[in-house]
Amino acid sequence: MEIYLPIADLPVNVFLLLGMGLAVGFISGMFGIGGGFLMTPLLIFVGIAPAVAVATVSTHIAASSFTGAAAYWRRRAIDVALALMLLAGGIVGTTSGVLLFTALRRLGQLDIVIGLSYLLLLVSVGAMMVAEGLRAMLRARQGKPVELRRPGSHTWIHGLPLKVRFKQSKIYVSAIPVCAIGFIMGFIGAIMGIGGGFLLVPMLIYFLRVPTSVVIGTSMVLTLITMASATILHAATNHLVDAVLALVLMVGGVTGAQFGARAGQKMRSERLRLLLGILVLGVGLRFAFDLIVAPNDLFTIRTIVESP
């Protein structure tokens, strides 16, 4: 059954979209991530223009992160103060990201920037996750206890001024790195159409020493708000958000996430992290392949949309 997407301006099989939503939702539920870094490339592969894909996926992630955030809210596993401060940086980051997105689109270099940022981010983060996952599995096999949180060891981050106490997370850190992390997440989210959960969670754990119990819920609140604002900004400036596409994706996504979450709970956490690392690395290498191997067609054409 074909469905006509009004903004993407092409017909796509509705079951293909639902299936993609289910599959990505399953993975996102399993690993506790938004899944944007998987969904955006899939949509581009189906034939949707990269700009429309990035803008629409932000809507999809907003929906799936709301579902996650609601579950963590009921368990009181969200640090609201930390989320709000991350958000302050996040909104500035999203706004500048959307502005850069618009400028790059005008210059015709948006695709290459999306491709390169995916490549750099996914390959480096994926490689780190795989290495860390392998080390953890090795340690588990040797019978040593799994190290979840390295004790003490204050870094330069803890020497920064403007310190704030976050009660729920039981941390006392400077506002500067918190806002900076928020800014980075908002910025790359707007450019790459990813919620960045797979980046935010390790950053909060390693840089700010936020306890694992509140980290995912807090990250989901941040993802929800940055992605919802990215949706609004993309819709207002570039008119690229396809509501029909977003709706079909999010219906599949929120359903798949429920089954994914149940599957994830049955797996050991270090194995889960290794699998996620392999997934991230694989997607990154796929982007590397596209950029390095000679394209089938050297030419591309793109319609000029007159901005009103």
Partner 1 sequence: MKRASRRCISKGAKSSRLDSLPPCGGGPGWGVVPWGTDAPPSPTPTPDPSPQGGGEEFAAPSRPLMRRIPAVCAMAALLLALAALPAGAERLVSSLSSHIVQITSNFTGVELTLFGTVENDPATAPRNGGYDIVATVTGPRESAVARRKERIFGIWINAESRTFVDAPSYLEVLANRPFESIADAGTLHREQIGIANISLPQQIGPDVADVTPNDQFRQAFVRIKHERNLYGEITNGVTFLTPTLYRASIFVPAEALVGNYDVDVKLFADGAVIARTSSAFEIVTVGVERFIANAAVDHGLAYGVATAMMAVMTGWFASIVFRRD
Residues that bind partner 1 (CB under 8 A): 1-4, 6-7, 9-11, 59-60, 62-67, 69-71, 74, 108-109, 111-112, 116, 224, 227-229, 231-237, 239, 241, 243-244, 246-247, 250-251, 254-255, 257-258, 291-292, 294-295, 297-304, 308
Residue closer to partner 1 by CB (options 141, 304) is 304
Task: Kindly state the smallest distance separating residue 11's Cβ from partner 1, in Å.
Answer: 5
Residue closer to partner 1 by CB (options 156, 299) is 299
Task: Kindly state the smallest distance separating residue 262's Cβ from partner 1, in Å.
Answer: 9
* CB 37, CB 283: distance < 8 Å: yes
Task: Kindly state the smallest distance separating residue 157's Cβ from partner 1, in Å.
Answer: 33
Task: Fill in the amino acid letter for 106.
Answer: R
Task: Fill in the amino acid letter for 87.
Answer: L
The contacts of residue 170 (CB under 8 Å, 6+ apart) are 211
Helical axes 175-192 vs 197-206, angle rounded to 10°:
170
Task: Kindly state the smallest distance separating residue 44's Cβ from partner 1, in Å.
Answer: 16
Residues in the chain: 308
The DSSP 8-state label assigned to residue 28 in this structure reads: H
Residue closer to partner 1 by CB (options 178, 254) is 254
Phi, then psi, of 3 in degrees rounded to 5:
-125, 135
Phi, then psi, of 161 in degrees rounded to 5:
-75, -170
What is the C-alpha to C-alpha distance for residues 306 and 150, in angstroms, rounded to an integer? Answer: 54
What is the C-alpha to C-alpha distance for residues 271 and 240, in angstroms, rounded to an integer? Answer: 38
What is the C-alpha to C-alpha distance for residues 192 and 230, in angstroms, rounded to an integer? Answer: 11
Task: Kindly state the smallest distance separating residue 85's Cβ from partner 1, in Å.
Answer: 22
Residue closer to partner 1 by CB (options 135, 302) is 302
Residue closer to partner 1 by CB (options 26, 66) is 66
Residue closer to partner 1 by CB (options 161, 308) is 308
Task: Kindly state the smallest distance separating residue 287's Cβ from partner 1, in Å.
Answer: 10
* Alpha helices for 36-192 (secondary structure H): 36-46, 50-74, 80-107, 110-141, 175-192
What is the C-alpha to C-alpha distance for residues 120 and 87, in angstroms, rounded to an integer? Answer: 25
Task: Kindly state the smallest distance separating residue 211's Cβ from partner 1, in Å.
Answer: 22
